[in-house]
């Protein structure tokens, strides 16, 4: 298993680097086709209680259990609570805002 990144005072850029490092493994194990960061870390508004918001796309739609496993693994490996949002689940209004600020990995 890849190393775990501590979340102390992390920035979106640090998380993007960490995610790029583990993305090949996520592609193989979870059929992840793309990841992007959005939310408070991208806007520089994170607090010690903030989760890391990730926009995810899959080559093959995951089961609920696979989706939860991916979220839990990312939380463990990054050292911060992760909130996964599937790109296909975005509603028009909020989706436009998310897509405007997303940092692709």
The mean predicted confidence, pLDDT, of the chain is: 91
Let me know if residue 4 belongs to a domain: no
Residue 70's domain is classified under what CATH number? 3.30.460.10
pTM here?
0.89
Residue 2 pLDDT > 70: no
| 79 CB-near residues (< 8 Å, 6+ apart) | 4, 5, 6, 7, 8, 10
Say whether 13 is catalytic: no
Q: Residue range 8-34: average pLDDT?
A: 92
Let me know if residue 51 belongs to a domain: yes
Let me know if residue 7 belongs to a domain: no
Let me know if residue 1 belongs to a domain: no
Split into its structural domains, the chain has a count of: 1
- 47-87 tens-digit pLDDT: 989 999 999 999 999 999 999 999 999 999 999 999 999 99
- Of 25, 51, 69, 83, the catalytic one is 51
| 56 CB-near residues (< 8 Å, 6+ apart) | 32, 34, 35, 36, 70, 84, 85, 86, 87
**Rounded CA gap, 29 and 32, in Å?**
8
Residue 40 belongs to domain spanning: 12-104
Let me know if residue 44 belongs to a domain: yes
Share of the chain above pLDDT 90, in %: 87
Say whether 53 is catalytic: yes
């Amino acid at each position: 298993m890849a190393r775990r990144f501590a979340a102390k005072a992390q920035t979106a850029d640090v998380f993007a680097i960490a995610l790029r490092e583990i993305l090949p493994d996520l592609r193989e194990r979870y059929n992840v086709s793309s990841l992007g960061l959005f939310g408070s870390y991208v806007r520089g508004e994170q607090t010690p209680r903030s989760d890391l918001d990730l926009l995810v796309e899959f080559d093959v739609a995951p089961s609920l259990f696979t989706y939860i496993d991916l979220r839990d693994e990312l939380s463990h490996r990054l050292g911060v609570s992760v909130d996964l949002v599937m790109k296909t689940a975005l509603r028009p209004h909020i989706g436009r805002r998310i897509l405007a600020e997303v940092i692709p990995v």
